[in-house]
Amino acid sequence: MGENATTAEHNGPLGSHVQPETEEVLEQRALTSTLNSLLVYGKAAHYNLTKPRLAALSRLSSRHRELLTPFYTDHLAAVDRAIERNAEFLMLVARYGANEFEAPQDLREWEGATSFQIDQARSSVKQIYRDWSAEGAAERDACYGRVIRELNNLYSRERRSEVRVLVPGAGLGRLAYDIACEGYVSQGNEFSFHMLILSNFLLNHTTSENQFTIYPFLHTFSHTSTAANQIRAIQIPDKCPATFHISTASNFSFTAGSFTEIYANIEDEADKWDVITTVFFLDTAHNVLEYIDVISQGLKNSDGTGYWVNFGPLLYHFEEEQNSSGVAVANDADRQDGISIELPLDYLIAVIENCGFVFEKLETGIKTTYAADERAMGTWVFDSVFWVARKRKSGE
């Protein structure tokens, strides 16, 4: 999952925390290497995307080179310009992030970014398109919209200010924010520093709609129907938190750290959640049973009105890692993070029922995309599952 925020008592991305020194050091490294990945995005993108293509061009026969000139070289120059615009945006985000997450002022103290983190910086640009652009609205409607419509079926507008909704794995925060805009008390939770730094910027530091221009599709040369599509500009944010005021500032918050640590063992019924909604999250678990337990413990159960609303595929994130490390990791008692439990949907449903849930709605085969370019010639389409599972009250 890359470099993540370790769990702490945060009130949001800006929250302060107290950690043992070693954890603090690790967290600082994770933070600064993530910030560095935003700073070096541009350099890395030129190096990985346009430079090798220009080099390949120079190795072609002169006839082939002539066939591609000036179209292809012009296109690569346009990709370079678009990279620069993305890089400027990410540098700005990194500046705010460094300040608010309290990174050392001296950049020489920052940890270098890994290539995995630089990849994450790249994919974050596409995630901004998914969460915060008008072009991403259709994709959002298929998942976030479905969740919000379901919440609004469950709760009348008058009741919503009393209804507490938790969004684990909140990514760039749009679902949690939109839920707050509907009048609920909403809390997003996220552990990836990329997501935390970017969501903090988008939620707290944009000042007008369509303030920034990014180029989310420039990184892919395949499945491209026109050169213009690859370098098309997207404006963000389509809805600006600074101008679209939610009813009370206190009904929206964000926590930084692992969901399974922050929300495990909530004892007091008043601290439990009316709704926990997971979107494209369940399959991020090493052990999905742990997620189910934490969700179950976190939901109200005194009166049978705690709901788990879930949407997404089952693309188990650690399947590949487990396959490639095999028995070595499975047998290593110190490497709990190396395991991956991948239940098929039918087993998963049975386990969830055994953990005290009643499925009130269950739909499968819902075609959905994730940060997909709708103009691309090819993209992943998931057959997602949607459910509303009510937690049985004690004794029911």
Ligand X SMILES: C[S@@+](CC[C@H](N)C(=O)[O-])C[C@H]1O[C@@H](n2cnc3c(N)ncnc32)[C@H](O)[C@@H]1O
Nearer to ligand X, 130 or 391 (CB): 130
CB of 281 to ligand X, least distance (A): 5
Vertex 128: Cα angle to 73 and 337 (nearest 5)? 105
Smallest gap from residue 372 Cβ to ligand X (A): 12
Q: Under 8 Å CB-to-CB from 372, ≥6 apart: which residues?
A: 139, 379, 380, 381
Least distance to ligand X, CB of residue 277, Å? 9
The CB-of-117 to ligand X minimum distance in angstroms stands at 13
What 3-state DSSP class applies to 171?
coil
CB 259 to ligand X: min, Å: 4
Query: DSSP for 259-286?
Result: HHHHSTT---GGGSBSEEEEES-GGG-S
Residues 70, 57: Cα–Cα separation, whole Å: 11
- Compute the CA torsion angle 130, 134, 139, 145 (nearest 10 deg): 110
Q: How far is the CB of 73 from ligand X (least distance, A)?
A: 36
Nearest approach, Cβ of residue 209 and ligand X (Å): 20
Q: For ligand X, which is the closer residue by CB, 251 or 284? A: 284
Secondary structure (3-state) at 143: helix
Nearer to ligand X, 172 or 389 (CB): 172
Q: 3-class SS at 79?
A: helix
Nearer to ligand X, 42 or 168 (CB): 168
Q: Is 186 helix (H, G, I), strand (E, B) or coil?
A: strand
Q: Which residues are near ligand X by CB under 6 A?
A: 1, 130, 168-171, 189-192, 195, 258-260, 279-281, 284
177 versus 259: smaller Cβ distance to ligand X: 259
Q: CA-to-CA distance for 41 and 43, rounded, in angstroms?
A: 6
CB of 385 to ligand X, least distance (A): 14
| Between 189 and 230, CB nearer to ligand X | 189
Question: Is residue 100 exposed (0-12), middle (13-18) or buried (19+ Cβ within 10 Å)?
Answer: middle
Give me the least distance between CB of 30 and ligand X, in Å please: 12
Please identify, using beta-carbon distances, which residue of 13 and 171 lies nearer to ligand X: 171
DSSP 18-59: ---HHHHHHHHHHHHHHHHHHHSHHHHHIIIIIHHHHHHHHT
Amino acid at 362: L
Distance CA 16, CA 18 (A): 7
Q: Which is nearer to ligand X, 284 or 322 (CB)?
A: 284
Q: What are phi and psi of 225, to 5 degrees?
A: -80, -35
Task: Please identify, using beta-carbon distances, which residue of 252 and 281 lies nearer to ligand X.
Answer: 281
Task: Specify the pairing of strand 212-214 against strand 234-236.
Answer: antiparallel
